[in-house]
């Protein structure tokens, strides 16, 4: 690889030993080079302006100006530079603040060379992908999309218990019913994944079986680890033991999804309500994120924060599809107020029917199979059909295929800055 194509890295850390260690770790990599080092935030900004690195490895705690402030300035000024945070503190609050400041990834010290190199390459690949998407002529982009493969929908919410698993399972089955195409369902709620319970599936094979075979992942191995549901949906279950969840890395999730794209038309991934690497990797690579919310202040607040975080993560607004679950539940909050508060329209609404939903979970039979005339089923089936009509590169078409009642139209679709704590959840 010639010098021009190398990933250019700037290291910002006040500790000379850390700077030297990281420089050494990168020294022998043919596809990257350390273009400079800095010892505090101010110097990091000056060096970034002068050197225009692809990646800045940024420590958080530094004298003068800390890494988070420096990150905010660099990401607002230099669109071609991505930041990877490094910190001894791995708490959710640090992660959240870093993401809000515009960092792309977060490494908790001490990290190994494998982790560091993977992060740098991953962030660089994402950034290059974004540029390609922006600059590629429309026709070419569509041709590539059509050629490439299955569509990935991540079912995410920053708050737990809002219906992700219910929606993921029913949506996967509804897509299968509507299209008879190849549909995969992945339980990415790794710690307490319950898709096996919701679909009444028993298997001793789970995603955990792939942990030790990450370099062998291909269609055949996946097919061996996945289990078939009577609907025809193929399911990749979460680890059966919660303590195995942490061993499923973001890299593994990316590889699994990348491989599934080759042999499935639709890939639905249930997720955990967290910013763990495995979840971020899923939302990174997803074509669309179905962002699930309910009419509760906590959910609305967390969605508001997530919209801000997703902006910082570089997700295009069109990547997010906002789904209001239990839309007709009796609360004091109405849809128009929510849309005005979020400055984002609600794309899909799903009715509330606690009895029917609980019954279907307890029976292990999705509502879209057992009770197709139930309103929750109808809403999910209708959403599935809309999603099949959604073409990549035609994101602005979303309004047309999911028509909203007039009174549900939002006030605008800009985002505002909102610094509120995210609910930290299990998984
Ligand atoms: N449309 C709905 N109407 C009524 N109840 C619902 C609906 N969707 C989900 N529920 C109920 O909400 C609860 C949480 O649902 P679910 O497990 O799907 O959420 P989750 O976001 O996956 O939660 P977790 O954080 O535990 O993974 C369940 O008790 C389910 O019965
Ligand atoms: Mg769940």
pLDDT for 392 equals 62
**Residue 376 C-alpha to ligand 1 middle, in angstroms?**
12
As beta bridge partners, residue 288 has 153
Express each pLDDT in 297-326 by its tens digit: 999 999 999 998 898 888 999 999 999 999
Q: Which ligand is nearest to the CA of 157?
A: 1
Q: Is 165 in the pocket of ligand 1 (CB under 6 A)?
A: yes
**Last residue in a domain, options 109, 135, 161:** 135
Position of tokens 């992700």? 164
One domain, residues 154 and 85: no
Domain boundary among 135, 159, 193: 135
141 inside domain: no
Cα–Cα distance measured from residue 50 to residue 37, given in angstroms and rounded to the nearest whole number: 12
| Helix or strand holding residue 293 (H, E) | strand 288-293
Using left for φ > 0, alpha for ψ between -120 and 50, and beta otherwise, residue 227 falls in: beta
Ramachandran region of residue 185, left (φ > 0), alpha (ψ -120 to 50) or beta? Answer: beta
Residues 123 and 240 grouped into a single domain: no
Atom from ligand 1 closest to the CA of residue 426: 25
- Any ligand 1 atom below 6 A from CB of 358: yes
**Measured from the CB, is residue 159 less than 6 Å from ligand 1?**
no
How far does the centroid of ligand 1 lie from the alpha carbon of residue 117, in Å?
Answer: 38
Q: Are residues 168 and 232 in the same domain?
A: yes
- Establish whether residue 160 lines the binding site of ligand 1, counting it when its CB lies within 6 angstroms of any ligand atom: yes
Regions of the chain short of the pLDDT cut 70: 1-4, 90-91, 129-148, 392-427
Contacts of 248 (CB under 8 A, 6+ apart): 190, 207, 208, 210, 211, 239, 278
420 within domain boundaries: no
> pLDDT for 106-163, tens place per residue?
888 888 888 899 889 988 887 775 544 444 444 444 444 444 589 999 999 999 999 9
Q: Cα 226 vs. chain centroid, distance in angstroms?
A: 22
Residue span of the structural domain in which 267 resides = 149-408
What does the pLDDT read at residue 3?
A: 55
∠ CA 233-239-245 to the nearest 5 degrees? 125
Number of domains, the chain: 2
The reply to whether 142 falls in a domain is no
Instruction: Judge if the beta carbon of residue 291 lies within 6 A of ligand 1.
Output: no
Residue 8: name the closest of 31, 41, 40 by CA: 31
Claim to verify: residue 285 and residue 319 sit in the same structural domain? yes
Quote the ligand 1 centre to 166 CA distance (angstroms).
Answer: 6
89 and 194 inside one domain: no
Identify the pLDDT of residue 329. Answer: 86
CA 271 – CA 21 distance, rounded (Å)? 35
Minimum-distance ligand 1 atom for the alpha carbon of 162: 21
Q: What is the pLDDT of residue 63?
A: 86
Same domain, 362 and 293: yes
Report the relative pairing of strands 227-228 and 234-236 from DSSP bridges.
antiparallel
CATH code of residue 35: 3.40.50.2300
In the chain, % of residues over pLDDT 90: 67
CA of 319 to the centre of ligand 2 (A): 21
Token couple for 63: 């004298």
Tell whether omega for the bond before 110 is within 30 degrees of 0, i.e. cis. yes
Three-state SS at 416 = coil
Same domain for 126 and 189, yes or no, is: no
Assigned domain for 426 exists: no
Q: What are phi and psi of 131, to 5 degrees?
A: -65, -40
pLDDT on residue 208: 97
If asked whether residues 233 and 121 sit together in one domain, one would say no
Q: Where are the beta strands (DSSP E) in 303-414?
A: 320-325, 348-350
Q: Tell me whether residue 423 is in a domain.
A: no
* CATH classification of the domain holding 158: 3.40.50.300
Residue 316 in domain: yes
- Among 103, 135, 167, the domain boundary falls at 135
The ligand minimizing its distance to the Cα of 354 is 1
Residue 156 lies in a domain: yes
Q: What is the pLDDT of residue 419?
A: 23
Query: What's the CA dihedral at 279, 280, 284, 289 to 10 degrees?
Result: 60
On whether the CB atoms of residues 363 and 375 are closer than 8 A, the answer is no
Ligand 1 contact via 97 beta carbon (within 6 Å): no
Q: Is the C-beta atom of 354 inside 6 A of ligand 1?
A: yes
**The predicted structure's pLDDT at residue 246:** 92
Residue 192 falls inside a structural domain: yes
Q: Are residues 219 and 121 in the same domain?
A: no
Closest ligand to residue 366's CA: 1
pTM of the model: 0.69
Residues 131 and 155 in one domain: no
Q: Are residues 189 and 221 in the same domain?
A: yes
Would you say the CB of residue 36 lies under 6 angstroms from ligand 1? no
Q: Are residues 318 and 276 in the same domain?
A: yes
């Amino acid at each position: 690889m010639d010098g021009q194509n190398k990933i250019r890295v700037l290291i910002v850390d006040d500790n000379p030993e850390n700077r030297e260690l990281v420089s050494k770790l990168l020294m022998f990599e043919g596809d990257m080079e350390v273009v400079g080092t800095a010892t505090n935030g101010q110097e990091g900004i000056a060096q970034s302006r002068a050197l225009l690195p692809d990646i800045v490895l940024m420590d958080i705690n530094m004298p003068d100006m800390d890494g988070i402030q420096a990150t905010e300035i660099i990401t607002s000024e230099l669109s071609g530079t991505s930041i990877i945070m490094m910190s001894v503190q791995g708490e959710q609050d640090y992660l959240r603040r870093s993401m809000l400041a515009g960092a792309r990834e977060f490494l908790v010290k001490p990290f190994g060379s494998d982790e560091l190199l993977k992060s740098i390459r991953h962030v660089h690949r994402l950034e290059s992908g974004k540029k390609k998407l922006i600059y590629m002529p429309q026709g070419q982009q569509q041709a590539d999309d059509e050629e490439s493969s299955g569509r990935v929908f991540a079912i995410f919410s920053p708050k737990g218990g809002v219906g992700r698993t219910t929606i993921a399972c029913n949506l996967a089955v509804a897509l299968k019913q509507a299209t008879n195409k190849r549909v995969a369902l992945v339980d990415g709620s790794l710690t307490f994944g319950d898709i096996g319970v919701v679909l009444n599936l028993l298997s001793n094979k789970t995603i955990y079986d792939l942990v030790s075979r990450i370099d062998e992942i291909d269609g055949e191995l996946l097919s061996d680890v996945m289990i078939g549901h009577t609907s025809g949906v193929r399911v990749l279950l979460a680890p059966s033991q919660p303590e195995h969840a942490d061993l499923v890395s973001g890299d593994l999730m990316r590889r699994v999804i990348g491989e599934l794209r080759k042999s499935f038309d639709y890939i639905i991934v249930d997720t955990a309500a967290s910013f763990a690497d495995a979840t971020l990797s899923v939302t990174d690579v997803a074509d669309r994120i179905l962002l699930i919310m309910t009419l509760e202040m906590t959910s609305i607040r967390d969605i508001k924060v997530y919209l801000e975080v997703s902006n910082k993560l570089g997700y295009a607004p069109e990547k997010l599809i906002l789904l209001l679950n239990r839309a007709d539940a009796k609360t004091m909050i109405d849809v128009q107020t929510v849309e005005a508060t979020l400055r984002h329209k609600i794309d899909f609404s799903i009715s509330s029917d606690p009895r029917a939903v609980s019954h279907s979970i307890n029976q292990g039979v999705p509502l879209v199979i057992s009770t197709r005339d139930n309103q929750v089923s109808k809403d999910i089936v209708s959403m599935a059909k809309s999603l099949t009509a959604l073409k990549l590169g035609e994101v602005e078409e979303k309004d047309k295929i999911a028509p909203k009642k007039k009174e549900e139209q939002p006030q605008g679709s800009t985002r505002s800055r909102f610094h509120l704590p995210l609910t930290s959840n299990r998984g």
